[in-house]
Structure 1
């Protein structure tokens, strides 16, 4: 099915003429007349979606400089039906995948909600921050690190249940990646080409908590693998983790669903190694230094030679990460 814009986008003023631009789109299944939707590409080959409305309300706004929202009239060339729609278009081709996730969410809401304009406006408000996050892509090493954390979370939720999501990155002030009542885990990722070392940031990442244990979990991953980050996110959702809670955690990590398509964020997990960090472990931490030195050191990054640690364990008891959380020490 193709759409043809009629004459003008009246939400932008009577003098703004669009002409006879065409959009190649397909209907979204399952939506009734009055709130139908079509997705595809507009005349400039930008990712676009059209949502049918029956009200006279006119929209014209931009969401985080990424998505333009306007009310326009279109004509179905097959039926010659003229339809009033809200058009959503993505201005940044790097974020087409993120845009598609946003549109899918709007379509899902329209399965039960009848006020199309309200659904779009509400979704746009909820996604403003996410779209700002998506505009700053992560480095390959940061994506690899996120993949390792997500694979650990996937295994944790599978063993402990959906409430285990609360142990992952509870705030930007968190010292360790996973924090339970009596155990903590810091996840690091090593590549297949370099299994010997991991990068540690600062004096607190391997700092022992006041109570409980600290485990260093190292995920060995293969880059350019066959497991996209979004596929891992989908599996975690399938385990029952609420999407809003998971999405908030991902945003804190600098990631939004849909980014993996453009970033080619796909890996394969080769295996895990686990070390219990103790006071005897040869790692740098604030407690291992004089207070005056620890306070004077900032922006420290160092490479930890894993061969200097004792033999690793191949498994981890996820039950140790109780969902009954304490305040971080």
Structure 2
């Protein structure tokens, strides 16, 4: 069984137990067992016995991986110091499993407990790859999100004319992606086909008296349009392509003619528009018993399932969003 399969098995057991789980790797150093583990949050980890060391966190310079030293004394862990290497991003499980394999190969089976630096040296050799892979995944998520905004911009320009680009606020990093006539729309785009979950960031993203959420589910398809083709379509409706590119550059997208933006094509698999009204589940400052304590909360994100909410589907979802921003309907 591979490292990845071991982690996946522990994660499946975790769902029924909701506790920190470990599994013997079969390797022994200094007469103590190296173990695979999964945290209560579902993050995979490698737990390695080491020479006696002081407890505490270790900064690896990798946002996706956490490391610390702790003292074990439980039925599963022998007494003594342990080095724990724990993944913090489920999207990197494959890469983390390869790293774990490399650490295990470097340790082998020994009568001596390893020093911390021996493990850290292996991690150091993987840092560049992890940074590149993480950047690539972040770039893909960003591009997917911007693609969704451009889809709605295309619909707006079709309805309102080239001046509709002034309604687009996403490239300015404003709270909502589109704002007009005291109304706002937040576009949420995903490549996942499971459910219709959208991620909300922070306490303030769903604040607003006339606010709608447009969820867009994309699917990669040779029959679809690339990022560059979508931009070209909007420019043919009268919006200057240079104006669009300036907006995209502010979002960190520097060339719509890059291979990445011309090769990958998407179709809209599904879409749904929902009003953020009293029936929409949300966490905002007014949700708190004492709204002023909202300033003490950081890095809040949560998911809402649009599939369970009332709303317009398909082409109607785009039309509903356009109507809200034109002031033709009340949220």
* Residue number in structure 2 paired with 1:220: 217
Question: Partners of 2:293 and 2:242 in 1: how far apart?
Answer: 42
Alignment of structure 1 residues 298-313 onto 2, 5 Å: 298-313=298-313
Inter-CA distance 257–181: structure 2 relative to 1 (3 Å threshold): same
* Residue number in structure 2 paired with 1:233: 231
Report the alpha carbon displacement of residue 308 of structure 1 after superposing the two structures with TM. 4.0
Deviation per residue, 1:107-163 (Å, 9 max, x gap): xxxxxxxxxxxxxxxxxxxxxxxxxxxxx8752222111111111101110111000
Report the alpha carbon displacement of residue 196 of structure 1 after superposing the two structures with TM. 2.6
Question: Partners of 2:186 and 2:141 in 1: how far apart?
Answer: 16
Of structures 1 and 2, the one with the larger relative CO (CA 8 A, separation 6+) is: 1
Report the alpha carbon displacement of residue 311 of structure 1 after superposing the two structures with TM. 4.5
Gaps of 5+ in 2: 1-134
Inter-CA distance 322–312: structure 2 relative to 1 (3 Å threshold): closer
Alignment of structure 1 residues 82-93 onto 2, 5 Å: none
Alignment of structure 1 residues 5-84 onto 2, 5 Å: none
* Residue number in structure 2 paired with 1:140: 140
Bigger proportion of residues as helix? 2
Report the alpha carbon displacement of residue 319 of structure 1 after superposing the two structures with TM. 4.0
Instruction: Normalising by structure 2, report the TM-score.
Output: 0.50
Matched, 1:285 2:284: yes
2:172 is paired with a residue of what secondary structure? coil
* Residue number in structure 1 paired with 2:181: 181
With 215-224 and 300-309 compared, the bigger mean Cα shift is at 300-309
Inter-CA distance 194–228: structure 2 relative to 1 (3 Å threshold): same
Report the alpha carbon displacement of residue 186 of structure 1 after superposing the two structures with TM. 0.5
Report if aligned partners of 1:169, 1:249 keep a CA contact under 8 Å in 2. Answer: no
Deviation per residue, 1:191-215 (Å, 9 max, x gap): 3522331111112222124xxx111
2:217 is paired with a residue of what secondary structure? strand
Deviation per residue, 1:147-197 (Å, 9 max, x gap): 111111011101110000000017635110000013211101133522331
2:246 is paired with a residue of what secondary structure? helix
Matched, 1:196 2:216: no
* Residue number in structure 2 paired with 1:252: 250
Question: Partners of 1:306 and 1:247 in 2: how far apart?
Answer: 31
Question: Partners of 1:170 and 1:142 in 2: how far apart?
Answer: 12
Question: Partners of 1:200 and 1:279 in 2: how far apart?
Answer: 16
Question: Partners of 1:192 and 1:301 in 2: how far apart?
Answer: 18
* Residue number in structure 2 paired with 1:262: 260
Instruction: Normalising by structure 1, report the TM-score.
Output: 0.51
1:139 is paired with a residue of what secondary structure? helix
Question: Partners of 1:152 and 1:241 in 2: how far apart?
Answer: 14
Question: Partners of 2:244 and 2:194 in 1: how far apart?
Answer: 30
Report the alpha carbon displacement of residue 250 of structure 1 after superposing the two structures with TM. 1.1
Report if aligned partners of 2:188, 2:198 keep a CA contact under 8 Å in 1. Answer: yes
Report the alpha carbon displacement of residue 280 of structure 1 after superposing the two structures with TM. 3.2
Deviation per residue, 1:269-293 (Å, 9 max, x gap): 1232110111331112233223233
Question: Partners of 1:170 and 1:268 in 2: how far apart?
Answer: 21
Gaps of 5+ in 1: 1-135, 324-329
- CA RMSD in angstroms comes to 2.5
Deviation per residue, 1:1-45 (Å, 9 max, x gap): xxxxxxxxxxxxxxxxxxxxxxxxxxxxxxxxxxxxxxxxxxxxx
Report if aligned partners of 2:184, 2:208 keep a CA contact under 8 Å in 1. Answer: no
Inter-CA distance 142–196: structure 2 relative to 1 (3 Å threshold): same
* Residue number in structure 2 paired with 1:172: 172
Report if aligned partners of 1:219, 1:273 keep a CA contact under 8 Å in 2. Answer: yes
